[in-house]
Amino acid sequence: MIANRGEIALRAVRSCRALGLASVSVHSEADRAAPHVWLADQSICIGPATSTQSYLRADALLHVAKETGCDAVYPGYGFLSENAEFAAKCEAEGFVFVGPIAGTIRDMGDKSKAREIAMRFDVPVVPGSETAFVSATDAEAASKEVGYPLLLKARSGGGGRGMRVVNKAADFGTTFADASREAESAFGDGAVYLERYFEEVRHIEVQVFGDGAGNAIAMGERDCSVQRRHQKLIEEAPSPALASEVRERIITSAVDLAAGIGYRGAGTVEFILDPTTDEFFFIEMNTRIQVEHPVTEARVGLDLVDLQFRVAGGETLPNLASIIQPGGHAIEFRVNAEDWSNGFTPSPGRLKKWRPPTGQGVRFDSAAYEGYQVPPYYDSMIGKLIVHGKDREDALAKARVALDGFVVEGIETTAGFHRRLIDHPDFQNNRVHTRWVDIKAMKELT
């Protein structure tokens, strides 16, 4: 059973078909005309449009799985993919959860605890507090050791939300209260921890796979430094900012963590890198497939969703390590239904024209089609353009052609922003960091 929607649900249906597995998808009332509905062997409507009434209803999902005779649940990304209770329920009711065991999700979902676990395996973490706090007074005491500027992060946070920068001690109390309140309402947990805030870092993450028996492999890194408000816009591999010796150390750290915790399935270990010192620090582990996984697929020539199913089916990994030989350069652009020239406001509506790019080294993952109505209820991402070339120059040349030829009418998308961004000298010359879009590119490109 595929417990998701959009391109990732569609991709999971395709993997099932390729592997000879029967599939059941689920959909909300708003998603009746979505391809993950008609391409699955069966699809069941689980409720109204709103996620809380459909894709987030653990009990309804498990009921469907039972009634249709499924034996495994595929969570994708977002929704319940990092919900430990859901994974535990799947386990308890005898379904294979296509991901790690519930205990791993729980441990890593507490980002403060994840830091502690990373330290156990000698993975460098961002200097910060040892625990998370609900009391502003206790947190302020810990802030003395961390120093300023510092970053407040929700222990249960995700998706770039629940983070606040504090520049000076005088602002600590009020900012802490804001962060904690926001965390409480977004994640149902007001606990906040502290990290030293780095003004100009890159986001580097490592794709890992584990078999749950202590074997773990890495499939190289991805550089996701082009972000807007802590949300990724462009991801690429290899990172143009890593010396090979640093790359090796960062990958070793990620594998040590994944192997150390006996990780099962696909996961991503995220780091920030200070390019002036080559120091890197663990920030979190995402215990699921990531939006940007095709960047890695392009370079290693493996289908990671297929592999998720195969590992869930009990396949072991050691023989895989020998066939992984990353090659070329890959870049992904997130196409969101947003009006980038107007503060990236959501732009749902009917796709009057939709001609996604194609060609050698050009891949477009999407569940949209001409005439499709982009619903206003879910994440705004409606497609991902992935280009793969022999080197960065080559990949960028393909991206330019692809973005130029991409026709969308009826809604606004971020494709136009990407087209401008790739011609910016800072992007071309690797002078970007995670706040570059917010403090520089936004002003110059809009």
> If you count DSSP H runs as helices and E runs as strands, how many of each does the chain have, helices first?
17, 21
Structure token pair of residue 373: 């109505």
Structure token pair of residue 41: 């062997």
Q: Shortest distance, CB of residue 270 to Mg ion, whole angstroms?
A: 5
What character string, x for contact with ligand ADP (CB under 6 A) and - otherwise, covers 400-439?
Answer: ----------------------------------x-----
CA separation for the pair 356, 384 (Å, rounded) = 10
Smaller CB distance to Mg ion: residue 106 or 222? 222
The reply on whether position 79 binds ligand ADP by CB under 6 A is yes
Which residues ranging from 268 to 297 are in contact with Mg ion (CB under 5 A)? Answer: 270
Query: Which region, judged by CB under 5 A, interacts with Mg ion, from 189-197, 208-216, 247-255, 262-270?
Result: 262-270
What lies within 8 Å, CB to CB, of 424 at 6+ separation is: 441, 444, 445
Active-site entry in 164, 288, 299, 435: 288
Q: Which does 157 bind (CB under 5 to 8 A by kind): Mg ion, ligand ADP, none?
A: ligand ADP
Question: Contact at 8 Å (CB) between 57 and 26?
Answer: no
Secondary structure E strands in 66-134: 72-73, 96-97
The CA distances from residue 54 to 39, 75, 116, 366, in Å, are 19, 14, 35, 21
Amino acid at residue number 178: D
Query: Which region, judged by CB under 5 A, interacts with Mg ion, from 62-70, 75-83, 263-271, 327-335?
Result: 263-271
Q: Label the pairing between strands 373-374 and 349-350.
A: antiparallel
- Percent helix, strand, coil in the chain (nearest 5)? 40, 25, 35
What character string, x for contact with ligand ADP (CB under 6 A) and - otherwise, covers 202-241?
Answer: -x-----------------------x--x-x---------
Structure token pair of residue 409: 């009418």
The reply on whether position 381 binds ligand ADP by CB under 6 A is yes
Smaller CB distance to ligand ADP: residue 69 or 147? 147
- What is the edge-to-edge ordering of all strands in the sheet holding 163-166? 163-166, 150-154, 192-196
334 is catalytic: no
Smaller CB distance to Mg ion: residue 236 or 270? 270
Smaller CB distance to ligand ADP: residue 158 or 346? 158
Query: Which region, judged by CB under 6 A, interacts with ligand ADP, from 2-10, 132-140, 335-343, 357-365?
Result: 2-10
CA separation for the pair 105, 85 (Å, rounded) = 9
Smaller CB distance to ligand ADP: residue 230 or 420? 230
SS3 state of residue 109: helix
Query: Which region, judged by CB under 6 A, interacts with ligand ADP, from 65-73, 198-206, 298-306, 322-330?
Result: 198-206
Comparing C-alpha atoms, which of 159, 320, 329, 111 is closest to residue 238?
A: 329
Smaller CB distance to Mg ion: residue 270 or 412? 270
Which residues ranging from 230 to 289 are in contact with ligand ADP (CB under 6 A)? Answer: 230, 232, 270, 272, 283-284, 286
Structure token pair of residue 341: 């020239």
Question: Contact at 8 Å (CB) between 289 and 266?
Answer: yes
The CA distances from residue 86 to 6, 64, 100, 186, in Å, are 20, 14, 12, 18
CB closest to Mg ion, residue no: 270
What character string, x for contact with ligand ADP (CB under 6 A) and - otherwise, covers 149-178?
Answer: --x-----xxxx------------------
Q: Which residues bind ligand ADP (CB under 6 A)?
A: 4-6, 8, 77-79, 126, 151, 157-160, 195-198, 201, 203, 227, 230, 232, 270, 272, 283-284, 286, 290-291, 379, 381, 434
> Catalytic positions, please?
288
Q: Which residues bind Mg ion (CB under 5 A)?
A: 270
